[in-house]
Chain A
């Protein structure tokens, strides 16, 4: 099938998926969750003012009109204003995306490079003491709570040694750099355990394939076999793992952003959930769904690029 037609067809899937997402969002936050006017008006809420506010927010309209509003905003990306901060949601997202990406993107790339390098290294020494130490290290690192890394990192490297900013953020390059290094390192460390184990398993699956034995029989060096042949053949699961993670990079890192006072989308989403800020939650859910579908299509396309055996249908 033509790549363009395939892409178009897959992108059209966004429509039913979005309708479904809108229905779930509407059900969860309009039917199940408590009255937001109570939260917005706080301790001095009166029946009259709650009714007035409900009318202003359009919560007194029939349910299907409210549902259609959500659908409309999902397709126009006009999410309106936050109930809690009264800010334009699209502006909030734009403002929050930059800090989130300045932290998550470099950390994500570095994390991948380091993890895949270690994985190749331990796959090369499979079954040897180095491999066992690496696996033990990975499991140990995964056993420690992410909060422990954050608290220790801030206290030791930020406070005791004074090497990094303890928390905070400044917009613009290079002003943001001092603020994202420590959370970035923690991000990498947090990902190292599961990533190395995952990539190692994939690489080991490939290492025992016939073509590797053939390559060895032909006298190719181990590093050439690993980098040129094994890595290339292991790319499909790696690509899936990587690309599907990208939409969540945009969402930010809830805990890291919160502890390091980084005004990203993770912190914004957390605030919205705490304040029952339905429009913001709705916007973030819809955007994440759209991003997820788009990146799924990209993953499929990437398959054909790295493996000629894969055909788009």
Chain B
């Protein structure tokens, strides 16, 4: 070992770079490749977070309010909505400038106007671009689908052709007209797919546009390259946007309010490190080279005690633990096209035999919340006091139910195939499921597939049961309930192909209603139907455990992280002190 140390010392002399303590730099990490900086292709969490550092939308989620609340961003105020709920009129902020770029006259960024949003929405619908966010507006805006269809057959798309559903009434007034009521429409305007881009920049860079992000956001990225690091610099011409002063009760603390009222952004630079492997991420956090980290599974015990608080070692280093229930649900879906699973008693029997609590202990360090139905806590439609009678483990009840299904002790029931993706942990989950079902005499064969194959099998209905999860696109129960809406069957989001006329009817009625107690009541009805009809075996709602260094200020865990970097701050004095301890 001594020889190794000497060797390393010789070779490694001054082989590390010192952390710069003269400038406020935010050091973040992501675990996946960033696909590019074009908003219309930002369909994963990682790419959409990066896009949102440069580009902005009409609306955003309030940084310090829960439940999640939409507030104006590039919109001057929340829109006026017509009585029939079909027309949304926005006034956009005046004096907002695009970043300077050679695409603009004289290289100086011009003012954002309502027409930029019209252009950006049309880009999202452009059939030649095949955006990954078209699903968001498909069938929603008047005339937009027809416009898309018309140009799908032609060689060139004409952006000057008016579309009734999205219009610039004047320089600063934007109007959307919906085909039918879609109360979730405003959430769409907070998603990066609909963020404003400039047509001059798109025209100048063509296919390379995704490497030349020019938005109105708090940070500038001169050129994007597919690398291991993305470095953003503060936008010196960023408009007067201030850290919020009105916050929810849980954020009413000095930690969150020390910067209240200050002009954004609060740091000079944001460095995003792409680190796909857990260990380097964890070790870099340990060295203070990353400011915040989701705790990797293998390092959980080093950071969190059995009673779910921070270990002394971590606390001494000034590290803070943050817990956040994710807006997601894991589940084992039945293929409802398979005649076997039309038998509700069989579905219930399997659900009763399954032990989600043991699953939680084994695969989530007992940190997740066992799901009673499909809607996670934190959004309306979730019923905190509801207990699903078919959530296990209730092995004896499961056996009786299986007999009622006509398969006493599993006799006469063919072997059921459980498909999952080929990651080790998913195979283990499959084995766990097999063991659970064996308790009531059901034989399971676990088949692992590379993710693309699994996706294809689900789409082509070549599965019997399969393990999967869903994360929220926006904080509305509709985004989860649509997973069981019959017409959404695969390749739509309803991978199980569940089709219940009553559920479908309630979904259709609720999907036209604005957020209200009446709509919540309908959501709850559907929540109950989903629970009791057992279209899936419900798994868990996962919980994120996050660590942040003491020098990182204003950090909030969020399911919708877009644009959050502008609110974060670094205490350089504290950072210097903490780095000595690490």
Report A's interface with B, CB cutoff 8 A: 33-36, 38-47, 49-50, 52-53, 56, 81, 84-88, 92, 95, 151, 154-155, 157-159, 161-171, 177-178, 181-182, 185, 258-263, 267-268, 271, 274, 276
Contacts and interface: CB of A to CB of B under 8 A. Distances in A.
Interface string B502-526: 0000000000000000000000000
Nearest to B471: A43
A105 B470 CA distance: 44
Interface residues of B, number: 54
Interface string B249-287: 000000000000000000000000111110110011011
B280 A163 contact: no
B274 A261 contact: yes
Please name the 6 residue pairs, one residue from A and one from B, whose CB atoms are nearest each other, closest first. A163-B12, A167-B280, A44-B135, A34-B456, A159-B283, A34-B452
Most chain A C-beta atoms within 10 Å of own C-beta, residue among B280, B283, B453: B280
Given A49-B135, A85-B226, A86-B210, A36 B15 contact: no
Interface stretch (B58-66, B125-133, B307-315): B125-133
A229 B453 CA distance: 57
Interface of B: 5, 8-9, 11-12, 15-17, 33, 35-36, 38, 41, 43-44, 127-128, 130, 132, 134-135, 138, 152, 207-208, 210-211, 225-229, 273-277, 279-280, 283-284, 286-287, 289, 451-453, 455-456, 459, 470, 491-493
Nearest to B129: A56
A263 B228 contact: yes
Given A41-B132, A259-B280, A276 B228 contact: no
Contacts of B289: 166
A259 B284 contact: no
Given A33-B452, A87-B36, A178 B132 contact: no
A50 B132 CA distance: 11
Contacts of B229: 168-170
Given A81-B207, A167-B284, 17 more contacts: A34-B452, A34-B456, A38-B456, A44-B492, A45-B491, A86-B36, A159-B286, A162-B287, A164-B15, A166-B284, A167-B275, A168-B229, A169-B229, A182-B12, A259-B279, A261-B273, A261-B274
Contacts of A181: 11-12, 15
Contacts of B453: 34
A34 B455 contact: yes
Given A53-B130, A87-B36, A261 B280 contact: yes
Given A38-B455, A166-B289, A85 B36 contact: yes
Contacts of A178: 15-17
A260 B132 CA distance: 31
Contacts of B452: 33-36, 38-39, 276
B228 A259 contact: no
Contacts of A168: 228-229, 273
Contact of B152 (A52, A92, A162, A166): A52
Contacts of A42: 43-44, 132
Given A151-B279, A154-B279, A263-B226, A162 B16 contact: yes
A16 to B, nearest CB: 31
A154 B132 contact: no
5 contacts: A34-B453, A44-B43, A163-B16, A166-B284, A167-B284
A16 B366 CA distance: 58
Most chain B C-beta atoms within 10 Å of own C-beta, residue among A46, A151, A155, A267: A46
Contacts of B273: 168, 261
Contacts of A46: 135, 138, 491-492
Contact of B130 (A52, A158, A276): A52
Nearest to A184: B11
Nearest to B148: A52
A260 B280 CA distance: 7
Contacts of B33: 84-85, 271
Nearest to A53: B130
Contacts of A166: 280, 283-284, 287, 289
A37 to B, nearest CB: 9
Nearest to B29: A261
A157 B12 contact: yes
Contacts of B38: 86
Nearest to B488: A46
A92 B36 CA distance: 12
Nearest to A36: B452
A159 B225 contact: no
